[in-house]
Amino acid sequence: MKIGELAQLSGLNASRIRFYEAQGLIRQVERLANGYRRYPPQVLQTLKIIQCAQQAGFSLEELKLLLPDTVTGEFKHDELVASLGRKVEQIEAMQLHLAQSKAQLLGLIENIQARPEGMACGENAERVLASMKH
């Protein structure tokens, strides 16, 4: 199929598909005599994997481990499972960090809202900042 059809089926624009090709994520591209690209049907699956992996936070380099082997067309089971496991660990670490940041911000909000009656906002800011240093 030509790039326009692939773009329509995948929901990606043609420039994004060419970018993935330039990055080595799409390798099964045939060039016709007129310079047009012709993509085999399995490229659509590759693009779906790329889209899902990017939504999950995979970088383009990490993505390469999720794609089928360029020669055999088969997935590398062990590398795939290991790569997915590493991403789960990264997400869990990020969740922990975000939970800690959220707790700090909620504490800060509570401290700001506990402004003594009659205290000016600037003075309250100094009070809150002083309490954060401890």
Q: What is the pLDDT of residues 26-71, one digit of tens each?
A: 987 888 899 889 999 989 999 999 999 999 999 999 998 888 887 7
Q: Which of 55, 75, 95 is the last residue of a domain?
A: 75
Length reported for the chain: 134
Instruction: Tell me what pLDDT residue 94 has.
Output: 96
User: What are the CA-CA distances from residue 47 to residues 17, 30, 55, 58, 130 (Å)?
Assistant: 8, 17, 12, 14, 52
Q: Could you tell me if 99 and 59 are in contact, meaning their C-beta atoms sit under 8 angstroms apart?
A: no
Mark whether 97 and 125 lie in a shared domain.
yes
Read off the pTM.
0.71
Instruction: Summarize the confidence of residues 13-22 as an average pLDDT.
Output: 95
Mark whether 30 and 70 lie in a shared domain.
yes
Mark whether 83 and 124 lie in a shared domain.
yes
Mark whether 8 and 43 lie in a shared domain.
yes
**Could you tell me how far CA 121 lies from the centroid of its own chain?**
40
Instruction: Summarize the confidence of residues 62-84 as an average pLDDT.
Output: 87
Instruction: Quote the CA–CA distance of 7 and 87 in Å, as a whole number.
Output: 28
Mark whether 70 and 81 lie in a shared domain.
no
**Could you tell me how far CA 82 lies from the centroid of its own chain?**
17
Mark whether 67 and 96 lie in a shared domain.
no
Mark whether 82 and 26 lie in a shared domain.
no
